[in-house]
Amino acid sequence: MSLADDLYRETILDHYHNPRNHGAIEHPTAQVEGVNPLCGDELTLYLNVKDGKIEDVKLTAKGCSINTASGSMMSELLLGKSVEEANQIVELFKKMMLDKKEEVVLPDDLEDLEALRGVKKYPVRIKCALLPWNTMLEGLGNALKSPTLD
């Protein structure tokens, strides 16, 4: 078995080859650029937030497989969630990826994210997995501040 099986397991490859919610939103309530300075990977996140709920989310990414798959999974899970729920999910995912002591248990509806847990074994790649999520945190913050909310 190759080490890469951790990284390139089916779920990740599926999202990598067919990224969900790929593209742009024409008039988003929030638009954020994320950059991983280590490798220069870039992504643009578009959000439509109405009445505190994520009505639409789209991503265009120029990144590695981990980055692309992670963003695709994130978009699928957060679409339709309230900003508050979304923030909680992002924080939970970040904790799973970053906490070295505690093994974070994911609820059933987030089990797809299990596929990304293997990335923890490759410290340099954790940033790739987190880039979409950190960009999302910023986007959710902006969406709340955005005047179109009222």
Partner 1 sequence: MSKLNVEQIRKDFPILQRKIAGKQLVYLDNAATSQKPRSVIDALTGYYEGYNANIHRGIHTLAEEATDAYEAVRETVRDFIDAEHTHEIIFTRNSTEAINLVAYSWGNANILPGDEIVLTAMEHHSNLIPWQRLATERNAKLVFIPITEDGQLDMEEARKLISSRTKIVAATLMSNVLGTINPIKELAKLAHEKGAVILVDGAQGVPHVKTSVRDLDVDFLVFSMHKMLGPTGVGILYGKTELLDAMPPFLSGGHMISSVWKDKATWTELPWKFEAGTSNIADVIASGKAIEYLTALGMDNVREHEIEITRYALQKLNELGDITIFGPKDATLRGGVISFNVDDIHAHDIGQICADAAIAVRAGHHCCQPLMRDLNVMGTARASFYIYNTKEEVDLLFEALKEADKVLGHVACR
Of residues 2, 100, 101, 107, which one binds partner 1 by CB under 8 A?
2
Determine what percent of the chain falls in helix, strand and coil, rounding each to the nearest 5.
55, 20, 25
Does position 128 interact with partner 1 (CB under 8 A)? The reply is: yes
Residue located via tokens 């999520």: 133
- The minimum distance between CB 148 and partner 1, in angstroms, equals 29
- Give 30 or 66: the residue with its C-beta nearer to partner 1: 66
Nearest to 45 by CA among 117, 144, 129, 134: 134
User: How far is 102 from 96, CA to CA, in rounded Å?
Assistant: 8
Question: How distant, in Å, are the alpha carbons of 5, 47, 113, 144 from that of 138?
Answer: 32, 11, 20, 10
Whole-number minimum distance, CB 149 to partner 1, in Å?
Answer: 31
Residues in contact with partner 1, total (CB under 8 A)?
23
Residue 7 engages partner 1 in binding (rule: CB under 8 A): yes
> Torsions phi, psi of 61, nearest 5?
-125, 140
- Find the shortest distance in angstroms from Cβ 40 to partner 1: 6
Judged by beta carbon, residue 17 or residue 50, the one nearer partner 1 is 17
Closer CB to partner 1, residue 49 or residue 64?
64
CB of 63 to partner 1, least distance (A): 6
Nearest-10 Cα torsion for 39, 35, 99, 93: -120
Site string for partner 1, 56-85 (x = CB under 8 A): ------xxxxxx------------------
How far apart, in Å, do the first and last CA atoms of the chain sit? 54
Residues that bind partner 1 (CB under 8 A): 2-4, 7-8, 13, 16-19, 22, 39-41, 62-67, 122, 125, 128
